[in-house]
Amino acid sequence: MIIFPPAKVNLGLNVLSKRSDGYHAIETCMLEVPLCDVLEIQKSDVFQFKSTGLKINGSHEENLCVLAFRMLENEHNLSSVYIHLRKIIPMGAGLGGGSSDATSILLGLNELFELNLSDEKLESYASRLGSDCAFFVKGGSQLGSGRGERLNPISIDLSGKFLKLINPEIHIGTSEAYSNVHFIDSYSIADALKNPIASWKDQLQNSFEEFAFKAHPVLNEIKKAMYDEGALFAAMSGSGSTLFGIYKEEPELTSAYESEWVFEL
């Protein structure tokens, strides 16, 4: 079985407050984008996890893909599998690659072992792995609230538009980002997304941009360059450091960054 776990970007990300459980209350719209990893899953006599492509730090047993398998293995008495992850989506980049990989494992095991788990049950499992994991059960475009696990579909038509992604390979730790986050609760992302894309520039914000742009000015320079070349909307995704722009016409690759992509939506 071959699966292509997709990345996501955030169309607006409001961190509202810090909750009593240590998590943060957020409002965001997550949008599935065509940048993908590659996962191979097949039944095996012994469990094996292999990764190629971008180097993944940490032990295999700490990898979210392995944790996802262990979760279903324990609760559904699964036999062993062989997992090969070809890592393409940059890590710690605000694109949700690790979360997507883990959720794809749940989806793949559900099919491989004919578990007949509902989307709701898969979302419940996924939310135990990470705050944005549940989004990738259905993907598409969804509003996220709570810590990101409460999801509602939203219709956003970007057909015929182009997406440009630039990851400047600047690492921004999640704890660092949340320690310096700018709380925003002054507008509704859902309401803003009902308006034309050209208005998003003045309406949608990302709570993490203020700190990230001060700490790493090149991020703001990339965002400005996207607008200068005609982006209808540009922003940082998640806690960074990937920048993305949505264009009416296909933009050119700058070749200034190793991790840079253009896709038609």
What is the CATH classification number for the domain harbouring 41? 3.30.230.10
Answer yes or no: do 172 and 138 share one domain. Answer: no
| Whether the Cβ atoms of residue 142 and residue 215 lie closer than 8 Å to each other | no
Q: How far is CA 112 from the centre of its chain?
A: 25
Catalytic annotation on 228?
no
Catalytic annotation on 223?
no
For residue range 16-38, list pLDDT tens digits in order. Answer: 888 888 788 999 999 999 999 99
- Sign of the C-alpha dihedral computed for residues 250, 8, 102 and 51 taken in this order: positive
Share of residues in the chain with pLDDT > 90 (%)? 81
Say which range, 142-156, 167-181, 208-222, has the weakest mean pLDDT.
167-181
Q: Which two tokens stand for residue 119?
A: 């989307």
Answer yes or no: do 125 and 243 share one domain. Answer: no
Report pLDDT for 185.
Answer: 83
DSSP 206: B
Answer yes or no: do 132 and 28 share one domain. Answer: yes
Catalytic residue among 37, 87, 101, 132: 132
Residue type, 67: L
Answer yes or no: do 146 and 215 share one domain. Answer: no
Between CA 85 and CA 4 the distance in angstroms is 10
Identify the band that residue 256 occupies on the pLDDT scale cut at 50, 70 and 90: confident
Between CA 231 and CA 226 the distance in angstroms is 5
Helix residue ranges, H only, the chain? 64-76, 97-112, 119-129, 135-138, 174-179, 189-192, 197-203, 209-215, 217-228
Between CA 174 and CA 84 the distance in angstroms is 26
Report pLDDT for 102.
Answer: 98
Q: How far is CA 238 from the centre of its chain?
A: 7
Report pLDDT for 145.
Answer: 93
Between CA 154 and CA 180 the distance in angstroms is 30
Answer yes or no: do 120 and 180 share one domain. Answer: no
The count of structural domains within the chain is 2
pTM of the model: 0.94
Last residue of a domain, one of 110, 132, 153: 153
Looking at residues 250-254, what average pLDDT do you find?
92
Report pLDDT for 100.
Answer: 98
For residue range 113-150, list pLDDT tens digits in order. Answer: 999 999 999 999 999 999 899 999 999 999 999 888 89
